[in-house]
A and B are shown apart, each in its own frame.
Chain A
Amino acid sequence: MIEIKNLKKVWEDTGTPVLENINLTIEDGEIYALVGRSGAGKSTLLRCINGLTSYQEGSLKVDGHEIKDYSDKELREFRRHVGMIFQQFSLLERETVYRNVALPMTCWKYPKDEIDAKVRSLLELVGLSDKMNAKPRNLSGGQKQRVAIARALTMDPKFILCDEATSALDPKTTNSILDLLLEINEKLGITVIVVTHQMEVVRKICQKACILENGIIKAEGSVREIFFDQPQALLNLLGEENIHLPETGHNIQISHLLNNESDGELFGKMYADMGIMFPIINGTIQEYEKDRMGIFAINVKDEDFAVVSDYLNKRGIRWKELGRKA
């Protein structure tokens, strides 16, 4: 379990804050996403978890142990249990796939036969047994990332940190890498922490997420909740902050599951029950796990607002009022 409390980090040379007041908990076995635009501090936060970078205030405990209290030697030992993969794969270009995967174990001086067995079984797992003696430059991006994943798994880690691991890959390859991460999470029970700016990645594999903006957590919780709630941080991230909202009346956002056919009849029912007409001003349907989530915005006249909000509350439909554009 990773527990982060009031964590703060500033760049030592300039004193500018990178991360402020970070509070979050990552449970074992989860796939957790740290999301944000570039420069939001998400990669830095990821590097705090395995001690690649330090933090000044607050606490970051992995399985109950404070990271900044580790000595250099203890930190090295700790990192054996935390695999990491990178956007640019970070493989030794001059070494074969086999030796790249074996590198962590050779650094830790495992016996040769143990290394051999492990490397072979991991290459089997990531589906690259036939590329054992190839050099990274002869592999595709997706294959390189598979090698990196195999390397990250060599010492049976408890956690895997993914720093924009799919950002350099095309959508199809991205999906295959995500499937692999999901498989690792389910089969081996490894906690996966994903740093990404791609919401598709979050939607596809993560259970929980936190959205960072300028080093501050703007939204945190289950991915379902975040997609349902549509916080401003999510809209900013998706680049949708500029929906044009009517200036009169009340703009209401309705989050509604569309799993059954009858769910789609919501607006028809609203008209039938209340006799009020209103225009739909925005709408998307997003899929998360097995759910289809409809996010709609409607514009209701001022005099109808009380009736409509009452109706929505009574039927237990999630809604919130959107701010009017100045």
Chain B
Amino acid sequence: MTLKNYTFAQIFKMLIVPAFFATLKMLAIAGVLSTLLGFVFGVILVVTEKGGLYENMIVNRILDFIVNMIRSFPFIILMISIIPFTRLIAGTSIGETAALVPLTVACTPFMARIFQNSFKEVDPALIEAAQSFGASKWQIVFKVMLKESVPSIISGLCLAIINLLGCTAMAGAIGAGGLGAVALQYGYQSFNLRIMYSIVVILIILVALIQYFGDWIYKKLK
């Protein structure tokens, strides 16, 4: 397809706007999924560690290993190497829906670490106090650890979401769609600098918005 017959405004409307919404969709769905999964794994990591509420070194070591392993993959390699798994889950390896699988897989360990670190920051004396009045282990997780670490979790989530945004752009390289795909295809491969830099600007604004929003919530909650 040649773009010569179109004005930039038309290109913007035709290519960039839908790509923007595709990116947002990936970001939102993969973000929510990996937050939920990350929370579960983060809780498991914290409660099974030494001296934890459900100390279990075997589970802890295995999960810790998996988290480290996934996090040591560069995202683009991870995405390619789990294509069979992606096909199994999404039925295809092309498109935004399929991209949700590697995005979630890549972001979940990151989220798990964020939850784990935030929970670890909770003063152990607080957990002891809760135990001293007979709170159950789950009450300690939800009413004490989660409650107390919300601001720290929010700022961590903000970091992870921005990281995820970078991954969605990369996912564009192997057919995920979204801003990254447009930037690569039209900006990089067809040397259309205007498209590339307008996407760069959009990404910068998006990151800034996420960061400001995160900081705002953090301040509200702290």
A residues at B contact (CB < 8 Å): 50, 52, 75-80, 82-84, 86, 88, 90-95, 103-104, 106-108, 148, 151-152, 154-155, 161
Contact = CB atoms under 8 A, between A and B. Distances in A.
State the 8 A-B residue pairs at the shortest beta-carbon distance, nearest first.
A90-B129, A104-B133, A84-B132, A79-B134, A76-B134, A107-B135, A90-B125, A107-B139
Given A88-B123, A92-B147, A151 B221 contact: no
Given A90-B125, A90-B126, A107-B135, 18 more contacts: A52-B128, A75-B134, A76-B134, A77-B134, A80-B134, A82-B132, A84-B132, A88-B125, A92-B126, A93-B148, A94-B147, A94-B148, A94-B151, A94-B222, A106-B143, A108-B134, A148-B129, A152-B133
Contacts of A83: 132-133
A139 to B, nearest CB: 16
A137 to B, nearest CB: 9
B136 interface: yes
Contacts of A155: 133
B76 interface: no
Contact of B132 (A77, A79, A92, A106): A79
Given A52-B131, A104-B135, A155-B133, A94 B150 contact: yes
A147 to B, nearest CB: 12
Interface in B99-139: 123, 125-126, 128-136, 139
A106 B134 CA distance: 11
Contacts of A161: 132
Contacts of A76: 134-136
A270 to B, nearest CB: 53
Contact of A86 (B129, B134, B139, B151): B129
Contacts of B143: 103, 106-107
Contacts of A52: 128, 131-132
A86 B133 contact: no
Nearest to B132: A84
Contacts of B150: 94
Interface residues of B, number: 21
B144 interface: yes
Contacts of A104: 133-135
Nearest to A151: B133
Nearest to A75: B134
Interface in B194-222: 221-222
Interface in B131-161: 131-136, 139, 143-144, 147-148, 150-151
Contacts of A78: 134
A151 B144 CA distance: 15
Nearest to A81: B134
A167 to B, nearest CB: 13
A185 B83 CA distance: 68
18 contacts: A76-B134, A77-B134, A82-B132, A84-B132, A86-B128, A90-B123, A90-B128, A90-B129, A92-B148, A103-B133, A103-B135, A103-B143, A104-B133, A106-B143, A107-B130, A107-B133, A154-B133, A155-B133
